Structure 1
Amino acid sequence: MENATLLPPEALTVSPAGLVHLPERTQLFVGRARELALLDEGVGIQVLCGLGGIGKSTLAARWAADRVADHTVVWWITAETPAELDAGLADLARAMQPGVVGVLPEDALRERALQWLATHDDWLLVLDNVSAPADLRPLLARVGSGRIVVTSRRASGWQDVARTVVLDVLDPEEAAELFTGVCASDDGLGPLCAELGHLPLALKQAAAYCAEAGITPRTYQGLLAEYPGEMFAATAEGGEAARTLARVWQVTLDRLTDTPRAALVLRIIAWWAPEGIPRRLLDPLGTPLEVTEAVRRLAAHSMITLRGGELSVHRLVQAVVRADPGNGTAMARELAVNLLHRGLRHPGGDGEQHLVVHVEALAGHTDPADDSEMAAELFQRIGLFIGTSTAFSRARLLCGRALRSFSRLHGPDHPRTLQAMHSLALPSDPAEGGAPQVAVELLTESLAIQLRVGEPGDPRILSTRGNLARLLRKSEPERAQALLLENVEQSHRTLGPRHPWAILARYEQLEESSGTAVIVAALERLVADAERASPEDPLLRDNIKRSLILRLLDIGYIERALALSAECIEGSRRSFGPGDPSTLLSRMVGVWVLQTGGQAERASALKAELLEDCLKILGECELTRMVREMPA
């Protein structure tokens, strides 16, 4: 009995009625109608989960403040650790029973709060930033049937505890409204909101900085592009440094230190596009279990999202990770290159079509001065692939990047540099107004070097000469014809008339010739020659066949053109797959044949399907534009 505590009479009085402890009500609240409705419909325990900075705590505070009248006690506890949860419960006991302050120890106060919660049901607890479901088990084992709202970055593990409400980013209009609630300037607001991924924390941080610095959203975006590390760490005067983008996700990464591959995966995918990342690209990083565990833990902590065989990551998470110079940036960048390269060449891999967006993102995030040999190869291969879909401007950017890198690595006369030179010989988008002069000059220079160091029948020389001719066909048609004729003569003399390069040379010369009836017969012979010369690579055959179809239409052979078009589409699907640019091009020719042949209704339906597929697979490019502008 000597350790017993004698309580004064007033210590036994419990006065919970109207007891409210919530964060200060923020005026910066927009949207979230769906999530508020889900909270209203719920009972018992609900968990608001999502990426750090997405607005979980703000939403919970707003909803709880509007429900004060419905509960005797509304109490907010920061519960990142079990110790913080216990301290919050002790604070609740002190508020309900002021007479015990300074009399009972912390564990006894916590017990009093639990006893009251267990015997009443008209209370609301908000447990903010809970790290793991297991941290709540001692509390949930004791409390009664009141309401509990939890916020957590943990997206999984709640199935036996509560119903989850997953928060996403704001929509563009809501993001703009949130920003202008702090900073009225709207110059460049839309692009900045998109750059910030419509993430509430990023929007508030940027708006506060703009308002204090007296700059526009456009200026802020320029600073962000030039000084990402500094801007992600910047906050307005009096702002909470721990709530900047540079810090908010580090808390989660610190929790993942026992799974080093999780951080490595995040550092690698930071260099790729944020959406549609094939999981199989990560397979070389470890055993199947090790890689799966890394991905699982990132998803569990809301750092990535999983959708079937793909994953996605918020673009600002990527930007913050890339901007941190102390997290193995150079190694992760080169691994990002290596894994994309493996994805291209590995049997059963993803292929060019699935990786285009990630290679373009990698090029946009990296400095050409840092390009390795493998990076240059990657940019050239994807550039040439994009060129097959007639996205010439995008293709030329990657091919030009490869040229600069090969020239830096090997010098101007190296075969890889020369190959990169003639890969720039892509046709022009109509908006460019003809062949880019820089490409003509580079190809002319490349051809001169190749003729000086190589043999006349070298396929690389034939390719460079043919590419140069294609660029010159409108601006200098006579020079173009002379170059094509030279290719025919050289290839026939050195390789023989049945060689694929000789067939290509004859085809390119025919394309520039007039006299349709004669050309039809010549193209028919070339189709047969191409099938015999290179049956394992039907691209040349299909190109010639599409040209033949259009020539048949010119001389009125509609039925034959229809039959050949259907054959060409089926052959492209079988050889390359339904989503390959060659197949899409064959389908476009098929639509044109139907329109010319008087089957307008069927042509219109197939055009709509083709345009939808082009947009989904290729995005906006020259082929998509050509399909869109075809007659309805």
Structure 2
Amino acid sequence: MVGQVLTGMGGVGKTQLAARHARDAWRSGRLDLLVWVTATSRQAVVDGLAEAAQTLLGADREDPERAARAFLAWLEPKPAPQAPRWLVVLDDVTDPADLTGLWPPDSPTGRTVVTTRSRDAALTGRGRRQVTVGVFTEEESEGYLTTALAAHDREPLRELMALGGALGWLPLAMSQATAYVVDAGITCATYRARLADRAQRLADLRPTALPDDQTTGVAAAWTLSLDRADHHAPVGLARPMLQLASMLDPNGIPEAVLTGAPALNWLAQEAPSQDTVSSDDAVRTLRVLHRLSLLDHSPRTPHRAVRVHRLVQRAVRDTLTEAEQDALARVAADGLVEAWPEVERDTELAQSLRANTAAVIGVAEKALYEPASHVVLHRYGRSLGMAGQVSDAIAYYANVVRVSHTLLGPAHRHTLFNRAVLANWYGRAGDAAGTVAALTDVLNDMEHLLGPGHPYTHLVRPLLALWQRAAGDGTAAAALGEWLESPHLKVSPDDPLTFAVRSDLAHQEGGTGDPSSAVATYVALLADATRVLGPDHDQTLAIRGHLAEWQGRAGAPSGAVAAYEALYEDYARVLGPDHPHTFLLRARLANWLGVDSSAAAAVTALRSVLDDMAKVLDPEHRDLLLVRERLAHWQAKSATDRTR
């Protein structure tokens, strides 16, 4: 019969599954012999088999190795009339090497079941099949929680499932949590609140008496595995690696975050036995942790290569002081910034980096503001907005302003800067007047608190003028020109803000009746932006869009169509075909198709854009409303053309 190796992280119920199988097989009369061995060491295996040999064969326990071999020999296949039906369970195997020479034989009438946290290839072989045991499904969790809390005050199913989700559907955790809820007379929501409390230790959230004959709490379920992992080569790196991973997203961490320079420096600092730590060492450490089921490492999905159960993360963090967690949060943030590309061509990577940043913020937000705002806070917010999630970016920056106001104080330069960034996103959401009002307040405070010559003051002044002009203030262009020509310019001519000001002045130039001059200015500006920022930078792409627009306004609609078509290919490559900016670019292309070809062509193109937008955007998304307005315009024009 085929032997089975049940493998999985601590707490998924491997032992319970093996026990259930053994009990059912024995009670049904399908077995003549059942042997259960707690196999946490080689000596424990030898002693367990020797005890079976003494009971069954009368072997001498004074020589356990010989007795164990005698028992294994007795299990060898025999002719049918004498063949016993047996089951040997080797529970909680710690090291596959402990079973060398001690595996029960293959037999048509016998079976071996092994439970282990190890995923070493040595555990599989001829006649053995590895079975991965995972956490409960949501359906299984619903059944378990409903039954376990049936005698407790009945709570809505959504509360039970919220509890299961907070526990990551881990069977051991749900068993102990439900017992704790009943014993303490609290609600599931109260338990979840205690679980989320950073000051509350996971070890304290267990019942006085463990249920179901359990012998260990959730917090201790992984201790032996981690101790063992730390002794594997590279020695001493497993624990600090798992500590770092415990600060990040349980649903997937980019491998680059855990193998980049910040992570390597941290590992070397925490493992003095290692003179230096390389990225190969970091990957080997991840493989050790994977083999011992402390995390899942999937190199083929590099953007979410490492997954760690949320309760493993919580148990690891519980062993750290608040100061240690804060230090780890900054290391994780440094790693995220290093892995974050300036141009987000890969939307899946960007989503993963945002999710991991959110996880660090959730665990140790305060650490990212002291002694000053960490740059990852702005990479996260900018990424949200550039992904088209402008409302989320505004809500996020509103919180950043609140936290920096509390932790850094209202006069701190980063608090003032965060206010300016939040105001800028108001404008991105369509509220130019609101942005002007907010930036005016920020600029006044900066001039008073930081001084008129401070770099932040110097940055906000042209930003305010840009939004004043967007809000219809024609006098703002003069302020932009003065800023750009200032001999005391604190910003490099190659800074993205400088390109934004030059672009706005070129737009103003065309708007005063000289579109050909605007085209020439944009051609020169595009050359500079491509040289300095690169062809795929969002500023460079935006300048190409402005150039295409002014080519059309200068009397070359065919040129505008060709330019927009080429630009669309790059937008789709860099940002993705479903990015809001890509959709708006297609809408502008459709507009010039209407000018160059026919209203019917614009209608067809805009309908296609709307169909695609409706698949990925909220029905009330601002961009959807804008494109609908353009479609209505061209539909009306198409109807007029047909009546002529």
Amino acid at match of 2:288: R
Amino acid at match of 2:92: N
1:270 and 2:228 aligned: no
Amino acid at match of 1:211: V
Task: Tell me the CA shift for residue 266 of structure 1.
Answer: 0.8
> What does residue range 206-245 of structure 1 map to in structure 2 within 5 Å?
206-226=177-197, 229-239=200-210, 242-245=215-218
Match of 2:22 in 1: 64
1: CA distance, partners of 2:422 / 2:193: 30
Aligned residues of 1:444 and 1:468 also touching (Cα < 8 A): no
Aligned residues of 1:49 and 1:164 also touching (Cα < 8 A): yes
2: CA distance, partners of 1:602 / 1:159: 58
Aligned residues of 1:527 and 1:544 also touching (Cα < 8 A): yes
Pick from 133, 141, 148 the counterpart of residue 182 of structure 1. 148
2: CA distance, partners of 1:620 / 1:233: 46
1:302 and 2:293 aligned: yes
Aligned residues of 1:155 and 1:301 also touching (Cα < 8 A): yes
Pick from 112, 125, 129 the counterpart of residue 163 of structure 1. 129
Task: Tell me the CA shift for residue 269 of structure 1.
Answer: 1.3
1: CA distance, partners of 2:465 / 2:358: 27
Aligned residues of 1:277 and 1:311 also touching (Cα < 8 A): yes
Task: Tell me the CA shift for residue 263 of structure 1.
Answer: 0.9
> What does residue range 546-561 of structure 1 map to in structure 2 within 5 Å?
546=545
Q: Residues 235-282 of structure 1, C-alpha deviation per residue, up to 9 Å, x if partnerless?
A: 234216753221101121121232321111111111111233222222
Aligned residues of 2:53 and 2:70 also touching (Cα < 8 A): yes
Q: Do the aligned partners of residues 588 and 461 (structure 1) sit closer, same or farther apart at CA in structure 2, a change above 3 Å counting?
A: closer
Q: Secondary structure at the match of 1:367?
A: helix
> What does residue range 398-413 of structure 1 map to in structure 2 within 5 Å?
398-400=396-398, 403=401, 412-413=410-411
Amino acid at match of 1:88: G
Q: Do the aligned partners of residues 591 and 181 (structure 1) sit closer, same or farther apart at CA in structure 2, a change above 3 Å counting?
A: farther
Q: Secondary structure at the match of 1:260?
A: coil
2: CA distance, partners of 1:522 / 1:465: 25
Pick from 370, 377, 380 the counterpart of residue 378 of structure 2. 380
Q: Do the aligned partners of residues 425 and 347 (structure 1) sit closer, same or farther apart at CA in structure 2, a change above 3 Å counting?
A: closer
1: CA distance, partners of 2:475 / 2:311: 54
2: CA distance, partners of 1:221 / 1:136: 41
Aligned residues of 1:421 and 1:446 also touching (Cα < 8 A): yes
Match of 2:581 in 1: 585
TM-score by length of 1: 0.74
Q: Secondary structure at the match of 1:155?
A: coil
Pick from 418, 421, 425 the counterpart of residue 419 of structure 2. 421
Q: Secondary structure at the match of 1:316?
A: helix
Q: Do the aligned partners of residues 528 and 142 (structure 1) sit closer, same or farther apart at CA in structure 2, a change above 3 Å counting?
A: closer
Task: Tell me the CA shift for residue 580 of structure 1.
Answer: 9.4
Pick from 91, 99, 111 the counterpart of residue 128 of structure 1. 91
Q: Do the aligned partners of residues 610 and 57 (structure 1) sit closer, same or farther apart at CA in structure 2, a change above 3 Å counting?
A: farther
1:172 and 2:143 aligned: no
Match of 1:7 in 2: none
1: CA distance, partners of 2:463 / 2:67: 83
Q: Residues 191-236 of structure 1, C-alpha deviation per residue, up to 9 Å, x if partnerless?
A: 2222221111122222222233333322221221126743444323
Moved more, 106-115 or 122-131: 106-115
Aligned residues of 1:170 and 1:198 also touching (Cα < 8 A): yes
Q: Residues 31-83 of structure 1, C-alpha deviation per residue, up to 9 Å, x if partnerless?
A: xxxxxxxxxxxx33221111111121222223333333333223322212223
> What does residue range 80-99 of structure 1 map to in structure 2 within 5 Å?
80-93=40-53, 95-96=55-56
Aligned residues of 2:164 and 2:174 also touching (Cα < 8 A): yes
Moved more, 131-140 or 351-360: 351-360
Match of 2:282 in 1: 291
Match of 1:477 in 2: none
Q: Residues 338-391 of structure 1, C-alpha deviation per residue, up to 9 Å, x if partnerless?
A: 222332489999986652221121111113266335752210232123222232
Pick from 224, 227, 232 the counterpart of residue 254 of structure 1. 227
1: CA distance, partners of 2:132 / 2:172: 17
Q: Secondary structure at the match of 1:425?
A: helix
1:339 and 2:335 aligned: yes
Match of 1:78 in 2: 38
Q: Residues 314-333 of structure 1, C-alpha deviation per residue, up to 9 Å, x if partnerless?
A: 12212222233359434322
Task: Tell me the CA shift for residue 563 of structure 1.
Answer: 3.3
Aligned residues of 2:257 and 2:332 also touching (Cα < 8 A): no
Match of 2:10 in 1: 52
Q: Secondary structure at the match of 1:129?
A: strand
Amino acid at match of 1:130: V
Q: Do the aligned partners of residues 347 and 592 (structure 1) sit closer, same or farther apart at CA in structure 2, a change above 3 Å counting?
A: closer
Q: Secondary structure at the match of 1:48?
A: strand
Pick from 111, 122, 144 the counterpart of residue 147 of structure 1. 111
Aligned residues of 1:422 and 1:463 also touching (Cα < 8 A): no
Q: Residues 278-324 of structure 1, C-alpha deviation per residue, up to 9 Å, x if partnerless?
A: 22222331223421331111011011112223221112212222233
2: CA distance, partners of 1:232 / 1:429: 48
1: CA distance, partners of 2:258 / 2:397: 26
Q: Do the aligned partners of residues 205 and 442 (structure 1) sit closer, same or farther apart at CA in structure 2, a change above 3 Å counting?
A: farther
2: CA distance, partners of 1:281 / 1:59: 36
Identity %: 24
Return 5+ residue gaps in structure 2 as ranges: 78-82, 265-276, 487-492, 595-599, 633-644
Q: Do the aligned partners of residues 94 and 417 (structure 1) sit closer, same or farther apart at CA in structure 2, a change above 3 Å counting?
A: same
Q: Do the aligned partners of residues 142 and 188 (structure 1) sit closer, same or farther apart at CA in structure 2, a change above 3 Å counting?
A: closer
Q: Secondary structure at the match of 2:240?
A: helix
Match of 2:318 in 1: 323
- Over the aligned positions, Cα root-mean-square deviation in angstroms equals 4.6
2: CA distance, partners of 1:620 / 1:243: 50
2: CA distance, partners of 1:598 / 1:45: 67
Aligned residues of 2:6 and 2:133 also touching (Cα < 8 A): yes
2: CA distance, partners of 1:372 / 1:236: 37
Pick from 448, 453, 478 the counterpart of residue 489 of structure 1. 478
Q: Do the aligned partners of residues 195 and 140 (structure 1) sit closer, same or farther apart at CA in structure 2, a change above 3 Å counting?
A: same
